[in-house]
Amino acid sequence: MRKLVVGSRRSKLALTQSRQFIDKLKMVDPSLEVEIKEIVTKGDRILDKQLSKVGGKGLFVKEIQNALFNGEIDMAIHSLKDVPSVIPDGLTLGCIPDRENPYDAYIAKDHVPLESLPNQSIVGTSSLRRGAQILAKYPHLQIKWIRGNIDTRLSKLNNEDYDAILLAAAGLKRMGWSDDIVTSYLDEHTLIPAIGQGALGIECRSDDKELLELLAKVHNDDVAECVTAERTFLERMNGSCQVPIGGYASKNSDGTIEFTGLIMSPDGKERYEHTERGNNPVELGEKVTEVLNAQGAYEIIKALNEEQ
């Protein structure tokens, strides 16, 4: 195998999960030589605005995809939730490895449970999806925008006027944070995750047969089927970071897939949710889309996209 150049965002989390995936590849081929090329994306440069206000898709991947097209790198290791549902022609997701915890982590001062937060308590999140679901269940709480890496957000929790914050559990796990800092993990019955949350997407050129053969050895079919249902729903609903959209699929013991899709208004007052079970992940994503659109969910997306 030739020397591989891997493209990664410069953040601590991106570099850490890149190194962890490279270690998996080296377990398959110990002779593998890999170099990491750090790439700064638009989403990394804009830190003073809420992501939903920046607009566009692929805020954290476009520059990396350009490096793939230019031959500067051989593959990219993305957090799948950052990857738009449509991959450009000439590129492909060569593998979906094992999925980390897909849920959201709730971290509160003095570990006050979410349901016990006092009136007007401030919960920090940069996600419209998280904010809408919290406001729907706990309308007495306030949502306040927060950005930055894990360390920055934890520091803001301790030193600013936040009473709690919400983070992706996967990031905490991959960075080696102890479960002790987490007040609770919010499963899909409390907070439906982002599309692809906890999963990685390994992107490469579609014609790179040698690399695709290597990636196939660390591919997880079950995870791939689940995120295919989720990403089909994202594509059909024309979802983006400007829309409170969530979706989570899991495999049942009988081999069937259970998928729940969610669309909400940012204020949490409108909620469209539906669950389907079956064997074909694409059909599941399409069916949930069909049901939610019949209920009126697309009107929320249309209105939000027109605002941008």
- Our separate counts of H helices and E strands in the chain read 11, 13
Q: Are 265 and 152 in contact (CB under 8 A)?
A: no
E strands along 113-218, which residues?
122-124, 142-144, 164-168, 184-186, 200-205
Catalytic member of 29, 44, 48, 82: 82
Q: Are 132 and 265 in contact (CB under 8 A)?
A: yes
CA-nearest of 67, 60, 1, 59 to 36 is 67
Report the greatest alpha carbon distance in the chain.
Answer: 59
Q: Is 82 a catalytic residue?
A: yes
Question: How far apart (Å, rounded) are the C-alpha atoms in residues 66 and 117?
Answer: 45
Instruction: Count CB neighbours of 139 within 10 A.
Output: 10
Give catalytic residues, as residue numbers.
82
